[in-house]
Amino acid sequence: MDQKTQDSRQALSTTEALPDKPYLPPENLARLETHVLRPHGEPRVNPPDYSISVRSKFGTDQQLHYPGERRQSLRGFEDHYTDIVDFIVRATHFVWEEKNVGYIYEFYGMESRIVDDSGLQFGRDRVVANTLQAINAFPDFRGYADEVVWAGDDEVGFVTSHRAVLKGTNTGYSQHGAPTGRKVQYWLIAECWTIANEIREEWVMYNNTSTLQQLGYDVREKAREAGSLINWDSVLAQRLGEPERIIGHNKPAYLPPATGPFDPGDFLRRMYHYVWNWRMFGKVRDAYAPNLRFYGPSDRQGYGRGEYQAFIISLISMFPDLTFTIDDQYWMGNEAEGFTTSTRWSVVGTHTGPGVYGKPTGRRVYMWGITQHVIKDGKITEEWMMFNEFEVMAQILRE
């Protein structure tokens, strides 16, 4: 092992090697609050190629142990990070696989906002507690970065959509019960907003239904148990109003014709609007390639437009008044190489149709998710969709 590799590994192997982080001046942070936390002001920059990406790192081990020279401006970040993808992957590895849980105090903000299947949580102490419990349940945990879609810079902050595959053996107590000794493998997507070496906001979507199935639990019973611990009528009454699409018996709006060069953001907004809100499921053929590969929660997989179309229809038929909203969106790439995108979205609807979640209950449901797409030649060739399916089941099946 050469000296450069040894130095690189030491930077993430001893807490003494971690330097103090320089923080951005208050006036910059005030600007961030306006334009990044709710990015409706000045736009973020989407990377025009894949020069900074998981695919450019030539393998997991090389990415984790040989970062090399800095490849983009990272004002406020620790010196050993080369780019934002390197930060996301190696910091996660350092905490989870090398068991340096206390490093969370370095790369999460004191008042970080975390949203997962359990709802909104505040503070890095909550992140520390959740991480400890997860590592205790799966001591041999391994994580593999599949993709990190990113946008932004060190002026307004970076947004990242980290898709990863996780493996482990349940030999410790978990929130679900006593050790089962079973091995699990599942994938997740975690979206973060990061500035100056700190994650300030995170939306993380685990494949909880798949994990429970692999551990041998009755998922419906676990969802009923979880749902009964919360007064959902009170919670949902505060955050769910009437779906906007049915106010005044209006039909969904028409969008103006697309103009100019191909815009992946505009392309996806149109697809979601016409397929999900207009229920024009035939538009799937316009937006998706014939050889589409689809991956969803509970280890769903599909091949081709017909299977994907059937999945969407089955989901919306359970919530016929469903309204789909895009909450955030960004991408990397270009027309020649293709685009890889990330879309965070939310849905409200009423469970009035039969389906995999059981007989209609008439209960209002809040659903949110993160979807990554691969777009080539103006068509979606891959889709990775994860949403809070376990929480949806908890809202429906609660006693």
The torsion angles phi and psi of 262, rounded to 5 degrees, stand at -60, 130
Residue 214: what pLDDT? 93
Q: Tell me the C-alpha distance between 43 and 358, whole Å.
A: 43
Return the number of other C-beta atoms located less than 10 Å from residue 221's C-beta: 11
Size of the chain, expressed as the number of residues it contains = 399
* 118: Cβ contacts below 8 Å, ≥ 6 apart: 391
Taking only the tens place, the pLDDT of each residue in 336-358 is: 999 999 999 999 899 999 999 98
Q: Where are the domains of the chain?
A: 3-217, 227-397
Distance in angstroms (rounded) separating the CA atoms of residues 295 and 381: 12
Mean pLDDT (whole number) for 37-52: 73
pLDDT at site 242: 61
Decide if pLDDT at 264 tops 50. yes
3-217 and 227-397: same fold?
yes
Q: How does the average pLDDT of the chain come out, rounded? A: 83
Cα radius of gyration (the chain): 21
What is the pLDDT, as a whole number, of residue 245?
59
**With contact defined as beta carbons under 8 Å apart, do 18 and 106 qualify?**
yes
CB 347 within 8 A of CB 326: no
Q: Please, where are the H alpha helices in 197-248? A: 208-215, 219-227, 232-239
Positions of E strands within 237-300:
288-295
Taking Cα atoms as reference points, which of 71, 95, 53 lies closest to residue 80? 71
Looking at this protein, which amino acid is placed at residue 82?
T
Classify 330 as helix, strand or coil.
Answer: strand
User: Hey, what are 333's tokens?
Assistant: 């790439």
pTM: 0.85
Q: How far apart are CA 78 and CA 107, in angstroms?
A: 10
* CATH architecture of the domain formed by 3-217: Roll (3.10)
The domain over range 227-397 is classified in CATH as 3.10.450.50:
yes
Neighbours of 49 (CB within 10 A): 12
The span from the CA of 384 to the CA of 390, in Å, is 17
Instruction: Please give the structure tokens belonging to residue 139.
Output: 């001591």
User: What three-state secondary structure class fits 60?
Assistant: helix
pLDDT tens by residue, 48-103:
999 999 887 655 555 566 667 889 999 999 988 999 999 999 999 999 988 999 99
User: What tens digit of pLDDT does each residue of 165-206 get?
Assistant: 999 999 999 888 899 999 999 999 999 999 989 999 999 999
- State the Cα–Cα distance between residues 236 and 336, nearest whole angstrom: 45
Structure tokens at 275: 């397929």
Backbone angles phi, psi at 95, to 5 degrees: -75, -50
> Given this model, what pLDDT does residue 228 score?
74
Tokens standing for residue 111: 């008042």
Distance from C-alpha of 211 to C-alpha of 59, rounded to nearest angstrom = 26
Strands 338-350 and 323-334: antiparallel
379: nearest Cα among 255, 261, 271, 241:
271
Q: Which helix (H) or strand (E) holds 114?
A: strand 108-116
Enumerate the β-bridge partners of residue 158. 152, 194
Quote the CA–CA distance of 148 and 86 in Å, as a whole number: 10
Mean pLDDT of the region 281-294: 95
Other CB atoms within a 10 A radius of the CB of residue 112 amount to 22
- Is the dihedral angle over the CA atoms 172, 174, 180, 185 positive or is it negative? negative
pLDDT average, residue stretch 355-381: 93
Contact 147, 372 (CB under 8 A): yes
| Minimum mean pLDDT range among 111-115, 239-243, 254-258 | 239-243
- Mean pLDDT comparison of 2-6, 24-28, 256-260, 311-315, highest-scoring range: 311-315
